[in-house]
Structure 1
Amino acid sequence: MGRYVIRRILQALLTLGIVLFLLHYLMALSVQIRGNPALLFFGGDRTPDPAMLEQVERLYNLDNSCYERVGDPCITPFVERLQDYVQGDLGTTLNGNRDVAQLLSIYIPNTLRLFVFSVITLVAVSMVLGTWAARHRGRFIDHTVRGTTILADSIPVFLILLSYVYIVAVPLTRWARGIWGTESFMGQVFRPNYNPDYPWTTIIIPGIIVGTVGLATMTRLIRASQLENLGSDFVRTARAKGLKPMRITIVHVIRNSMIPIVTGIGFLFAFMLSGAVLTEGVMGIPGMGRMIFQAVQRQEGNLVIVGLTVSAFVVVFVSLIVDLLYAALDPRIRYE
């Protein structure tokens, strides 16, 4: 077990290192082709004094000559960047000279709240629908569940968000506030935008919408996995002993179907990250997706790299947890 864990951790670190280098190289290539982003510090249209420009380049680690050679990977700045990350120095923004670490402390909690409700929605709904369809294989309920989830999955997330914000949210909010009041839970949960005074309440509906990403895929995966276990010998033995169908489903079928389900959750997590960018933009949530999008618009290279690095770390970490759960769910995997 120890060797398995160490091997997976080393693989995760290698993957993260490759991602960091690719992000750094793309940023360096952008600087080499598009020009010096330090000019944004002076407003972009002004022609700064050469001495002041040199000082700003040194401040933001853009003074290396490799940024003048197209295609140069800029290894030295990459090593310096890693050293700064290890020391907890994430740099500052070009516009406003704000500390990046301080910005992350604002944006990361909101994205985490969004993903809490997204994962709960995805797992709970797909588990119920997949189990229901598996227990009624080939019947009307099975076809209805599969058709409904495919239809829901085929609708783009941004269309669901826009429909909710401009059609559903406003009348629901007025109705709820007319009954329970503006400051009540029901008066805030249906708001069409984010309210920092109610960070958990106003993020429930956006989280549920993001949770619909990959719902059809997850439901079909759970259904197929449970159908495979429903025809196995241990399930037939449990039925022969007279166990109740609900106990057979929960204790024997669902438990032995967890490996494909865990795989699906890890696979769909990256797609949910892309859905979070749209959700945070439409709903006005100050999260990581919105931060990265605005940083790209403002040509904040360092902020983009830090944001994508955090996102890559989360994806790699989730993949590592999935690998470790494999070993916990099936001891045979530890020896492969």
Structure 2
Amino acid sequence: MLFHIGRRLVQLIPVLLGMSLIVFSIIHAIPGDPAQVILGEQATSEAVQDMHIRLGLNDPIYMQYLHYLKQIVSGDLGNSIRTQHPIAQEVLPYLAATIELSLSALIFAFVVGINAGIVAAWKHGSSVDYVAMIIAIAGVSMPVFWLGLMEQLVFGLKLGLLPSIGRYNVREPLQIITHFYVIDAILEGNWAGLWDVVKHLILPGMALGMYPMAIIARMTRSSMLEVINSDYIRTARAKGLNEFWVIYKHALKNALLPILTVIGIQFGYLIGGTILVETIFGWPGIGRYIYDAISYRDYPVVQSGILIVAFIFVAINLLVDIMYAYIDPRIRY
């Protein structure tokens, strides 16, 4: 098992290097002069030239990349052009907000999608199967921005059941410890604040999780249909085992590998694709952070934000590979 994990970690090195090179190249291909952005439109050409020297923009492109790579390895993501604050510190609250939102969306997608797919496969050909697949098709078809606006209209404005903007009610005192508000409320023992944070997560989490929920449901149904008619399932039923345990303990475990692949990929997309949901619900996440940086041509922030999202995507795929080996021991060999 350790050898398998070590081999996967070694294979990640060229992936991460290639990823950093692509991000660096794309950012440097964007039109605009960072020195001019820092100094403003009224800056003299001499001041702009001095800023080029300070930022190392006059160095050969390969030297700039090596310097950038050295900064990343040392954990230094540079400073924001707009705020002049270290990006590694500035990005943490935004990253925590996005991860918290993505996890809530994944939990919704996982719980609803897995169970809908299992029930659809279990009752294959019945009205339950058709209803579950209609819901899955609707989840794939509905644009996330439209679904978010409809949730705000119905549950926020019309019914007034759930908050439709922000991460929590600012009138509720909440001590920020980890920037993950759910964890902070639990650590503080602030149960009223915890409920308020959870309520703020429900609508954006459902809007963001609807598409992966539909994908997971369809994959679960397909994978379970391949397993549910196998000989060992018929044997388990012949032994008189409870149908619930036959489905969830025996069939689901052997159908889980392709489902895990989909879940890992969808979680990576959730991390990188939250910008629409964050904009609609006023969620201060990394998607909004990168979008604002693009507006201000804050290239170091854009570069670092994209790299962080890409790294998380790669790390999630590594975690899925490790879970493969845990679920199916044959993969370790």
Q: Same fold (TM over 0.5)?
A: yes
Match of residue 288 from structure 1: 286
Whether the 8 Å CA contact 1:213–1:275 is kept in 2: the answer is no
Counterpart Cα distance in 1 of 2:108 and 2:54: 45
Residue 236 of structure 1, CA deviation = 1.0
Residue 14 of structure 1, CA deviation = 1.6
Unaligned segments of structure 1, at least 5 residues:
67-73, 177-189
Q: How does 1:1-336 map to 2 (within 5 A)?
A: 1-30=1-30, 34-43=31-40, 45-48=41-44, 50=46, 52-64=47-59, 66=60, 74-173=61-160, 176=161, 190-196=162-168, 197=170, 199=181, 200-201=197-198, 202-335=200-333
Counterpart Cα distance in 1 of 2:206 and 2:215: 16
Cα RMSD (Å) of the superposition?
A: 1.7
Residue type of the alignment partner of 1:270: G
Residue type of the alignment partner of 2:296: R
Unaligned segments of structure 2, at least 5 residues:
173-180, 182-196
Whether the 8 Å CA contact 1:127–1:219 is kept in 2: the answer is yes
Whether the 8 Å CA contact 1:226–1:253 is kept in 2: the answer is yes
Match of residue 186 from structure 2: none
Number of residues of Structure 1 aligned to a counterpart in Structure 2: 307
Whether the 8 Å CA contact 1:213–1:272 is kept in 2: the answer is no
Match of residue 184 from structure 1: none
Whether the 8 Å CA contact 2:216–2:259 is kept in 1: the answer is yes
Deviation string for 1:142-172 (max 9, x for gaps)?
1111112101220100111122224431233
TM-score (norm 2): 0.87
Residue type of the alignment partner of 2:20: L
Counterpart Cα distance in 1 of 2:24 and 2:325: 34
Residue 62 of structure 1, CA deviation = 2.2
Counterpart Cα distance in 1 of 2:203 and 2:283: 12
Whether the 8 Å CA contact 1:262–1:322 is kept in 2: the answer is yes
Deviation string for 1:305-327 (max 9, x for gaps)?
10011001100000001111111
Whether the 8 Å CA contact 2:27–2:299 is kept in 1: the answer is yes
Residue 58 of structure 1, CA deviation = 3.7
Q: Classify 1:167/1:204 alpha carbon distance in 2 versus 1 (closer, same or farther; 3 Å).
A: closer
Residue type of the alignment partner of 2:44: P
Deviation string for 1:26-79 (max 9, x for gaps)?
12222xxx2422101122x213251x3244334433232x4xxxxxxx221111
Counterpart Cα distance in 1 of 2:16 and 2:220: 30
Residue type of the alignment partner of 1:46: Q
Counterpart Cα distance in 1 of 2:18 and 2:128: 46
Q: Classify 1:59/1:163 alpha carbon distance in 2 versus 1 (closer, same or farther; 3 Å).
A: farther
SS of the equivalent of 1:211 reads helix
Residue type of the alignment partner of 1:148: I
SS of the equivalent of 1:226 reads helix
Residue 302 of structure 1, CA deviation = 0.8
Deviation string for 1:181-202 (max 9, x for gaps)?
xxxxxxxxx1121045464332
Deviation string for 1:83-131 (max 9, x for gaps)?
1122222111112312212211221111111012011011100011001
TM-score (norm 1): 0.86
Residue 292 of structure 1, CA deviation = 1.0
SS of the equivalent of 2:159 reads helix
Residue type of the alignment partner of 2:226: E
Whether the 8 Å CA contact 1:37–1:299 is kept in 2: the answer is yes
Whether the 8 Å CA contact 2:102–2:267 is kept in 1: the answer is no
Whether the 8 Å CA contact 1:90–1:101 is kept in 2: the answer is yes
Residue type of the alignment partner of 1:273: I
Whether the 8 Å CA contact 1:157–1:275 is kept in 2: the answer is no
